[in-house]
């Protein structure tokens, strides 16, 4: 089961780009990489998912190098409302479904 | 779509009482997950189902915990008897195959 490692916390200022890197050295061939965001008193919310190279959607980009042992979530021009905990997950494909295991996450604080 | 629905949103009970948490996954999703979140232990995967069948319950802390999924649109997590250390936020999530997971709003359980 692939384990992920992320920084515990990060601070940024409004308008800056934030990059959060996750290490997953034991990622398996069929594993996908998924990022979630969680605000206080809410359930985690899906941000982005990818397998290799680069994925972009309306809120973030995900960069995955060729060896897939790490990934970087990029949040462009953050605002105060992006203050949250961000989790990197590596999907463990078991019995036809993913077993999503959450690590400690990265607590991002956006300052004015 | 209403998303994943959990009830009750808040539950306060006394030690020794039975507690039942309920979840309605998103229609069409074939996997359902139960998580528990505390400050000390973060987000823990308790059990997950695929096509209504329990796949992995290794995260269930004790025999006091049990979960059922009698059909594709309903699941319960039961704690009997409850203890103060069971106090946490319990989340239910559902996914379709390897797709994005959707979390419910959670049930905040307080055991006195």
**Which residue, B103, B61, B79, B44, is CA-closest to A39?**
B103
**Looking at chain A, which residue has its C-alpha nearest residue B57?**
A99
pLDDT per residue over B67-110, tens digit each? Answer: 999 999 999 999 999 999 999 999 999 988 766 889 999 999 99
Sole residue written with tokens 């030690």: B15
Across the strands, what pairs with B86? Answer: none
Please tell me the distance from the alpha carbon of residue A19 to that of residue A74, in angstroms, as a whole number: 4
Closest-CA distance of chain B to residue A97, Å: 6
Please tell me the distance from the alpha carbon of residue B96 to that of residue B100, in angstroms, as a whole number: 7
Structure tokens at A18: 């934030």
CB contact under 8 A, B55 and A97: yes
At B28 the three-state DSSP class reads: coil
Query: Which positions in chain A touch B96 (Cβ < 8 Å)?
Result: none
Structure tokens at B78: 């039961």
pLDDT per residue over B16-73, tens digit each? Answer: 999 999 999 999 999 999 999 999 989 999 999 989 999 889 899 889 999 999 999 9
**Looking at chain A, which residue has its C-alpha nearest residue B37?**
A43
Query: What is the torsional sign of CA A99, B76, B96, B10?
Result: negative
Report the residue from A45, A91, A104 with minimal CB separation from B98: A91
């Amino acid at each position: 089961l692939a384990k992920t490692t992320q920084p515990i916390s990060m601070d940024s200022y409004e308008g800056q780009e934030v990059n959060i890197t996750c290490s997953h050295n034991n990622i398996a061939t069929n594993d996908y990489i998924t990022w979630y965001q969680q605000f206080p008193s809410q359930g985690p919310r899906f941000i982005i998912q990818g397998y290799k190279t680069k994925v972009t959607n309306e809120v973030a980009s995900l960069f995955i190098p060729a060896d897939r042992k790490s990934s970087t979530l990029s949040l462009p021009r953050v605002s105060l409302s992006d203050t949250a905990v961000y989790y990197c997950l590596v999907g463990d494909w078991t019995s036809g479904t993913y077993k999503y295991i959450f690590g400690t996450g990265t607590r991002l604080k956006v300052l004015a | 779509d209403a998303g994943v629905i959990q009830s009750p949103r808040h539950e306060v009970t006394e030690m020794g009482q039975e507690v039942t948490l309920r979840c309605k996954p998103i229609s069409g999703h074939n996997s359902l997950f139960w998580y528990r979140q505390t400050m000390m232990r973060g987000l823990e995967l308790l059990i997950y189902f695929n096509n209504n069948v329990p796949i992995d319950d290794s995260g269930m802390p004790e025999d006091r915990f049990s979960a059922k999924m009698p059909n594709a649109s309903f699941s319960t997590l039961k704690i009997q008897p409850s203890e103060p250390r069971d106090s946490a936020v319990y989340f239910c999530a559902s996914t379709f195959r390897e797709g994005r997971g959707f979390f419910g709003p959670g049930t905040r359980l307080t055991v006195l």
